[in-house]
Amino acid sequence: MSAPLRSNEPMVVQVALGARAYDIVIGRGLIASLGARIKTLRQGAKCAIVTDAAVAKLHLPAAEAALKASGIDCTPIVVPQGEASKSFATFETVCEAIIAARIERSDLIVALGGGVIGDLAGYAAASVRRGLDFVQVPTTLLAQVDSSVGGKTGINSHHGKNLIGAFHQPILVVADTALLDTLPAREFRAGYAEVAKYGLLGDAAFFSWLEANWKEIFAGGAAREHAIAVCCRGKAGIVARDERETGERALLNLGHTFGHALEAGAGFSQRLLHGEAVALGMTLAFEFSARKGLIGEADATRARAHLAAVGLPTHLKDVPGGVPGLDALMELIAQDKKVKRGKLTFILVRSIGQAFVENDVGAAEVRAFLADKLSRL
Ligand X SMILES: NC(=O)c1ccc[n+]([C@@H]2O[C@H](COP(=O)([O-])OP(=O)(O)OC[C@H]3O[C@@H](n4cnc5c(N)ncnc54)[C@H](O)[C@@H]3O)[C@@H](O)[C@H]2O)c1
Q: How far is the CB of 96 from ligand X (least distance, A)?
A: 21
Mark whether 245 is an active-site residue.
Answer: yes
Looking at the Cβ atoms of 128 and 141, the one nearer to ligand X is 141
Give the active site residue among 46, 168, 189, 260. Answer: 260
Residue 83 touching ligand X (CB under 6 A): yes
Is residue 152 flagged as an active site residue? yes
Residue 300 burial (CB < 10 Å; 0-12/13-18/19+)?
buried
| Residue 33 within binding range of ligand X, rule CB under 6 A | no
Binding mask 171-200 for ligand X (x = CB under 6 A): --------xx-xx---x-------------
Q: Does 139 bind ligand X (CB under 6 A)?
A: yes
Of residues 225, 354, 221, the one with CA closest to residue 289: 354
Cβ 255 vs Cβ 285: under 8 Å: yes
Distance CA 366, CA 7 (A): 48
Active site residue 197: no
52 is an interface residue for ligand X by CB under 6 A: yes
Of the candidates 132, 90, 82, 87, the residue with the CA atom closest to the CA atom of residue 107: 132
Among residues 148 and 289, whose Cβ is nearest to ligand X? 148
Taking the CB of residue 86, how many other CB atoms lie within 10 A of it?
A: 23
Question: Residues 113, 170, 202, 259: which binds ligand X (CB under 6 A)?
Answer: 113
Interacting residue with ligand X among 3, 55, 229, 323 (CB under 6 A): 55
Quick check: is 256 catalytic? yes
**Contact residue for ligand X among 17, 32, 41, 58 (CB under 6 A):** 58
Q: Which residue is nearest to ligand X (CB)?
A: 115
Amino acid at 85: S
**For residues 103 and 101, what is the distance between their CA atoms, to the nearest angstrom?**
6
Catalytic site includes residue 249 = yes
- Site for ligand X (CB under 6 A): which residue of 60, 117, 231, 300? 117
Q: Which stretch, 17-25, 112-120, 285-293, 335-343, contacts ligand X (CB under 6 A)?
A: 112-120
Alpha carbons within 13 A on the beta-carbon side of 13: 28
274 a catalytic residue: yes
Euclidean distance between CA atoms 274 and 256, whole angstroms: 9
Tell me how far, at minimum, the Cβ of 136 lies from ligand X, in Å. 10
Nearest CB to ligand X, comparing residues 58 and 204: 58
Residue 10 beta carbon to ligand X: minimum distance, rounded to whole angstroms: 18
20 is catalytic: no
Q: Which of 10, 27, 115, 265 binds ligand X (CB under 6 A)?
A: 115
Q: Does 56 bind ligand X (CB under 6 A)?
A: no
Q: Is 243 tagged catalytic?
A: no
Which positions are annotated as active-site residues? 130, 152, 194, 235, 245, 249, 253, 256, 260, 274
| Interacting residue ranges for ligand X, rule: CB under 6 A | 52, 54-55, 58, 81-83, 86, 113-117, 119, 139-140, 142-143, 146-147, 150, 152, 161-162, 179-180, 182-183, 187, 274
